[in-house]
Amino acid sequence: MTTVRTSEEDSPAPSEPKKPAKSTKAKILDAVRWLAILLVVAFAAKALTDNWTEFWHTLSDVAWQSSVLSLVALILAIMVSTWGWQVLVDDLGKPIGYIRGAQICLVGSLGKYVPGSVWAYLLQMELGRKAGLARARIFTGSLIQLGVGVVSALVVSLLAAPAVFSNSPRAMWLFVLIPVGLALLHPRVLTWGTSLVLRLLRRPPLERPLTWGVVLKTFGASTLAWVLQGVHLWLLANSVGAPGFSGFVLCVGAMAVAMTVGTFAFILPSGIGVREVAQVAVLTASGLTVGQATAFAVASRVMFTVADLLTAGFAAGAAWATDRRPATA
């Protein structure tokens, strides 16, 4: 039985042209949010500078066209993944639109650079609250996207199965999870599982079941994001002679494996180290030397940081410009 949805943002906007003065508590919360944003940007900048020298040395052997296109592929992957997140959040209440959703999702995601990736979810919830959305709604959207994204990654990682098995035979158990994961994506099962997690966290369950449309859009966005991330890695690796199409297929599977493993290494900032191990294992299977594979894995991490900072900055700027735009009658 479904219940009627209620939403904190359903109430009409106040008609008064003048906003009421902020309370002291609201000012303190704003200051804390800004401090948190500055902190995560500082951690991201540190990750960037720590690897910059090796990154620049690696790119010196790569055609600039490949480097630029590789970064563009990453930016597109982030934009597509953000759209999948926004679809979920919009389904849980009054639609917020892509610009506002991107600001909450992308700026909040910078929290993954702080040790303990839980900070990304906390920052997203706080930014959502600042925009007038319930924290539970933001957390629920992120939780569902994480689950759908992991299943999508397991499916895509089959492309790198030969390389993964040759380097780590114990990884076979990952692919046993694929049928289970696909079954869990059934809207009824996913709704039940999400509501169960929310109850365990002492939060209200979902107010209405998820639909096939929402699940398929989120799954499709995650899958396309993995492919674009594979394009990013392939453009770097192919510049030194990695096999063409077969290398591309391996790179797509490698990114799906690497990003999934990095997601669950939540103690480390942005899965640092774990992601690179998976990338190197697959890149060496495509014909690169260990030294080349390691260099490209480090270059990939730096480019991810650059793409994260660029997209978060553009999203924040677009949301700010939208807020300052005069309201029409």
314: left (phi over 0), alpha (psi -120 to 50) or beta: alpha
Give per-10-residue mean pLDDT for the chain (329 aa): 44 49 56 56 58 60 81 95 94 89 89 74 86 88 90 85 61 73 91 88 84 94 94 82 72 79 55 65 71 78 87 88 65
Non-local CB neighbours of 302 within 8 Å, separated by 6+ positions: 48, 51, 52, 55
Residue 63 phi/psi, 5-degree rounding, is -55, 140
Give residue 9's identity as a one-letter amino acid code.
E
First-last CA distance in the chain: 40
Sole residue written with tokens 């994260």:
308
- Nearest Cα neighbor of 138 from 103, 190, 181, 182 is 103
pLDDT (0 to 100) of residue 219: 96
Q: Is the pTM of this model over 0.85?
A: no
For the chain, which residues make up each domain, given as ranges? 25-324
- Nearest Cα neighbor of 138 from 96, 188, 175 is 96
pLDDT (0 to 100) of residue 224: 96
Non-local CB neighbours of 298 within 8 Å, separated by 6+ positions: 51, 54, 55, 58, 276
- Nearest Cα neighbor of 185 from 157, 150, 139, 158 is 150
SS3 per residue for 191-213:
HHHHHHHHHHCCCCCCCCCCCHH
